[in-house]
Chain A
Amino acid sequence: MFIFNQLKRDDPALRLVSVVLLAGLVILFAGLWWVQVVCGREYQSHLETQSFRSVRVPAPRGKILDRNGVALADNRPRYDVCLYLEEMRKAFAADFDARFKYTTNTLRLQREAKRAALGRDLTKEEAKAFRVTMEQRKELSRQARLAVANGITADLGQKLQTSLALDVKRFTNHAASTPYQPFPVMQDLQPQQVARFQEQFAGIPGIDLESQTIRTYPLGSTAAHLLGYLRREKDGESRDGEESYYSYRLPDFRGLIGIEGGYDEKLCGHAGGKSVLVNNLGYRQSENIWQPTVPGYNVTLTLDVRIQQAAEKALASRSYRGAIVVMDTRNGDVLAMASSPTFNPNYWVNGFPPGELERLDNPQTKPQRNRATQDNYYPGSVFKIVVALAALELGHDPNELYTVPAGANGRGIAVFGRNQTKQDQAPPGTYTFLRAFIKSSNGYFIHAGLKPGVLEKVVELGNRIHFGERANLGTMQENPGSFPRPETVRSGWSLGATANLCIGQEKIETTPVQVAVMVSAMANGGKVFWPRLVQRLNSQDPLSNEPEQTVPEARLRDTLGVSAKTMQLVRTAMFADVDDSDGSGFRAKLPGFRIGGKTGTAQVEVIGEDGKEHTTWFASMGGPENEPTPRYAVVVMVENGISGGTTCAPVAHDVYQAIQQLNQPAKSIASAR
């Protein structure tokens, strides 16, 4: 035969090659015989139980807790019923076949009817109308999918006793673009619905229950700005350093802003993976977790929920747009950071109620802005604290009398340089330092600020307080503001600019947190702390041996370097501002508490509205009467207020009152929850 002819060749080398070829082919033949004929049965049975889908399981996010362990952000289980379209192919195909047969039958009947009517065979052109077109085929297959999914959905609704409708548009899109992803037909099942599902739908191909842990904010909008919010991960998005090939990814979220955003990497943990063994009928055979999830770190804040809620209530009950920062003056811990108007971070996870998105995007009220750190404001007269420190330190006599002249409207007027003037809200007349401070006389402070060396000292102190710099709070919502550097005032700096700086206008922009740092330094004798928002990060697993990461307490950033005598003078003036019935901050007065502060009313140009509005402030420190140094700094800032004294001081009063109630021993932490 042909092959053996080659083997009998007289050329030994060619014969050897032929032998090798023949041997190779025989080996392949034998191998195929073995695999296909001898073991064929075995492999056919393999076919039935050999497919698995790998599912990425997001790790539970770490909790966010307040300083007493109250959860501000937590997780809860959530159950969704999902359709696995790939596994429903058989049902789709069966339905399609039925539809297709029906359509072709109908068309055939129509065609025959037409033929009978015409009494002749149809021409090719005419017959074309009675064929199933590709479009029709596609439409039929779409309908088949939809019908099957609709059937399952209706069945599901009936058995779980809820009204349930398939979102046709979403389903069509899903089937067209991401058929390999599970399609959620029903989300967030109630416990009894979960039980009913387990009972009635076990082992039905293509439909399954997915459980996952999901973010929840049990206290709703409390500390919303600070916590931030999450966004749903986009399709196919994967995290760095993580395997990206999964058949399915359960929906996962990423922190976008706030603590959720800034500490996302710590909070998110490591996603796990499981393989689900599915046989060729789509039944789930077994589940194998090959990589357990590693839950994210818990983040403990310095916040005290009770003070936080009191602060939020103080703003919200008055419908103010503004912010409150409460700081522990002894170490810079932020005890409360409220911003109003606010929002509910749960909406980002569970969906927004109608109209909410429009409210959140309102450019006037800007509910998403964390006004305590994210927006910059003129501090107005609040900054006179620094001017006072600078002037007194340089030898300005507090008892020196200075007469503020009367302006056109009967109020005082500041006159400086060559007939430059500035409006004043305080009346004209003769002022000492104390009276000027509690009346917040612009004329007096511009006079003092223009004395030689005071400007440089003001700039130095402001830089020591770190105005115009970020405090690295890690919330991704900090704007540094602005403050002149020593070199800026050395040249090209005008008298008018100095005058503006002395009354906290134009040349300085701050955030309420920066002001709180300033007041804290006043309270604690000159120590400028890094504000601290996060106390520690620790593993959720109590048995974990991963070390706790603690953020050091009372990190000193700078000192004011002002003499004790000067400090005392300004502090006395601050206390007088509240205690004295003539003081601008008297509305903050609270029996049993010793409170000192400074009011501020800064003019801002507003685009659009009637031109001008006032940013009003009350920067204060206070604590129980029997304690030598005030323990709390409470800074209230309200946009579009009337004046610091009228608008902000009462708000601060409410906050102090809440703090006072906390400190009464009868109230335990538990009852306050």
Chain B
Amino acid sequence: MFETTLNESQSRVDRLLLAALGGLMLFGFAFVYSATMVNETTGVFQQFRELTFPGFFKWLLSELFFKQVIWYGLGTAAAIGLCLIDYRSLARWAMVAYWGSTLLLIAVLIPGIGSMRFGARRWIDLGFFQFQPSEFAKLAFIVALAHFLSRPAEELRRPDVFWKATGMIALPFLLIMKEPDLGSALVMVPCWIAMLLVAGVPRKFLVRLFSLVGVLAALFLVDVLFAPPGWQIKLQDYQKRRLLVYFGVDYVPASGASREDIQRLKRQQLDDSFNVRQALISVGSGGLTGKGWRQGTQNALGYLPRAVAHNDFIFSVIAEESGFVGSVIVLTLYGAVLFTGIRIAGQARDRLGKLMAVGVVALIFSHVFINIGMNIRLMPVTGVPLPLLSYGGSSVLVSLIAMGLLHNVHTYRRTY
């Protein structure tokens, strides 16, 4: 660590960041393998020995852990590619990326283009790849906002600049909410706030903004949790149920509900809290040192639903199999990435670089906090992936591209 800080003015490569990312990818590979290969009788070596090479390759391609490796590869390539061009040149394309991703967000809402899964229209099916525009939109938003805010400090004091910045988040936010994907929409808010703060937008705006957001959020929660049915904001049923589960509020049957309806609700409540409870049991039963790689029973026996074990709930698998020790290693790796990011922001040659770095850091942090938080019931369940660990092409690609941007800022930092 000290070594890198000493050498920071010379080296174009941040070794700590790269090491931390490599570590995360190793973890991701190992546990996506564990989560998806859990019920296979034959492992990779057995397959390799038995199959001809093309057969083996075909088998690999059908397995999620290998697809994850491919995504790591593609993402790393994209990140390296990004580092070759100065971020200041890249930033000229910021608004193109922003509007392009906005178009995609609109496209995904159109039935026929966007494909429906689990009751939400979040994916564009490209056959080999389920493309999730909201992931890319988050990054495009950060770059565009950094570009927008990297203007002279005096201009930032003007209210119209502030309101334009608000408009920039509002558009993708609302489109992502429409899918619906509350989690993905919400992670943009911390990025926005952090970037406004770092850019030097006057405190009075921020204070006002904070109080407004805070009051709205509080009103929203009180409304959803306690208001009589006629007064409630229309949320998707599952979103509301997740919030109720999180806050431990009982489902309230509509007045005049029959006995069966009440029973159905009770059962529903049990079912909905099922994932959360199972995740908690997974994490908890891992104990200090865990049950060992591929030895987790929660996942193997299907209590942790197999549809989510390898993506949104990958942390449960990690925590169950590697215990508190493993969880702390994961946290440390993320910590290294995040604080390197802060350092890079501090050393950036201009405000654009600084803002981009801060935005990326905030983005990664929100994902990590929400995802791990939901595994230990600190946060309600939302479909937010854990960067680089969760299985998923869009998420991995975007995370690595974001890292590429971060490193780009480092590469073209001040050289004094």
**CB contact list, B172-202 vs A, under 8 A:** 194, 197-198, 200
Q: Nearest Cβ in chain A — how far from B8, in angstroms?
A: 10
Q: Nearest Cβ in chain A — how far from B360, in angstroms?
A: 12
Instruction: Report how far A290 CA is from B41 CA in the complex, Å.
Output: 37
| Contact residues on A (Cβ < 8 Å of other chain), bracket | 35 or more
Instruction: Report how far A3 CA is from B1 CA in the complex, Å.
Output: 10
CB <8 Å contact, A47 and B285: yes
B284 interface neighbour in A14, A27, A39, Cβ under 8 Å: A39
CB <8 Å contact, B1 and A40: no
Q: Which of A130-138, A328-336, A648-656 contacts B (4 or more CB under 8 A)?
A: A130-138
Instruction: Report how far A5 CA is from B284 CA in the complex, Å.
Output: 34
> In this complex, what residue of B is CB-closest to A138?
B41
A482 at the interface (CB under 8 A from B): no
CB <8 Å contact, A17 and B198: yes
Also in contact, A17 and B358, with CB within 8 A (given A36-B324, A137-B41): yes
**CB contact list, B258-313 vs A, under 8 A:** 260, 263-264, 266-267, 277-278, 280-281, 283-288, 297-298, 301-303
* Residues of chain B lying within 8 A (CB to CB) of residue A51: 301, 303
Instruction: Report how far A6 CA is from B339 CA in the complex, Å.
Output: 7
Q: Nearest Cβ in chain A — how far from B373, in angstroms?
A: 7
CB <8 Å contact, A35 and B376: yes
CB <8 Å contact, A40 and B285: yes
CB <8 Å contact, A27 and B346: no
B102 at the interface (CB under 8 A from A): no
Instruction: Report how far A280 CA is from B301 CA in the complex, Å.
Output: 9
CB <8 Å contact, B288 and A37: yes
The contact string, 1 if C-beta is below 8 Å from chain A, for chain B 322-341, is: 01100110010011001100
B50 interface neighbour in A9, A24, A40, A134, Cβ under 8 Å: A134
Q: Nearest Cβ in chain A — how far from B303, in angstroms?
A: 6
Instruction: Report how far A11 CA is from B358 CA in the complex, Å.
Output: 13
CB <8 Å contact, A9 and B283: no
A202 at the interface (CB under 8 A from B): no
A258 at the interface (CB under 8 A from B): no
Also in contact, A133 and B342, with CB within 8 A (given A13-B197, A36-B287, A290-B263): no
**CB contact list, A1-30 vs B, under 8 A:** 1-3, 5-6, 9, 11, 13-14, 16-18, 20-21, 24-25, 27-29
B343 at the interface (CB under 8 A from A): yes
Also in contact, A291 and B284, with CB within 8 A (given A14-B346, A27-B378, A36-B327): no
B148 at the interface (CB under 8 A from A): no
CB <8 Å contact, A29 and B331: yes
A43 at the interface (CB under 8 A from B): yes
Also in contact, A134 and B281, with CB within 8 A (given A51-B303, A280-B297): no
* Residues of chain A lying within 8 A (CB to CB) of residue B342: 6, 9, 14, 17-18, 21
A430 at the interface (CB under 8 A from B): no
Majority SS of interface residues in chain B? helix
B319 at the interface (CB under 8 A from A): yes
B345 at the interface (CB under 8 A from A): yes
B314 at the interface (CB under 8 A from A): no
B280 interface neighbour in A29, A35, A290, Cβ under 8 Å: A35
A25 interface neighbour in B42, B302, B335, B362, Cβ under 8 Å: B335
* Residues of chain B lying within 8 A (CB to CB) of residue A5: 5, 343
B27 at the interface (CB under 8 A from A): no
* Residues of chain A lying within 8 A (CB to CB) of residue B46: 134, 137
The contact string, 1 if C-beta is below 8 Å from chain B, for chain A 236-255, is: 00000001000000000000
B47 at the interface (CB under 8 A from A): yes
B372 at the interface (CB under 8 A from A): yes
CB <8 Å contact, B328 and A32: yes
B287 interface neighbour in A11, A44, A46, Cβ under 8 Å: A44
B324 interface neighbour in A32, A47, A50, A135, Cβ under 8 Å: A32
A33 at the interface (CB under 8 A from B): yes
- With A13-B197, A44-B287, A50-B278 known, 18 other A-B pairs at CB within 8 A are A6-B339, A6-B346, A14-B354, A14-B358, A17-B342, A17-B358, A21-B361, A28-B368, A28-B378, A31-B372, A32-B283, A35-B376, A36-B286, A36-B319, A50-B281, A135-B50, A137-B42, A291-B264
Closest 10 CB pairs of A and B: A43-B284, A40-B287, A36-B324, A134-B50, A13-B198, A44-B285, A2-B1, A43-B285, A31-B376, A6-B342
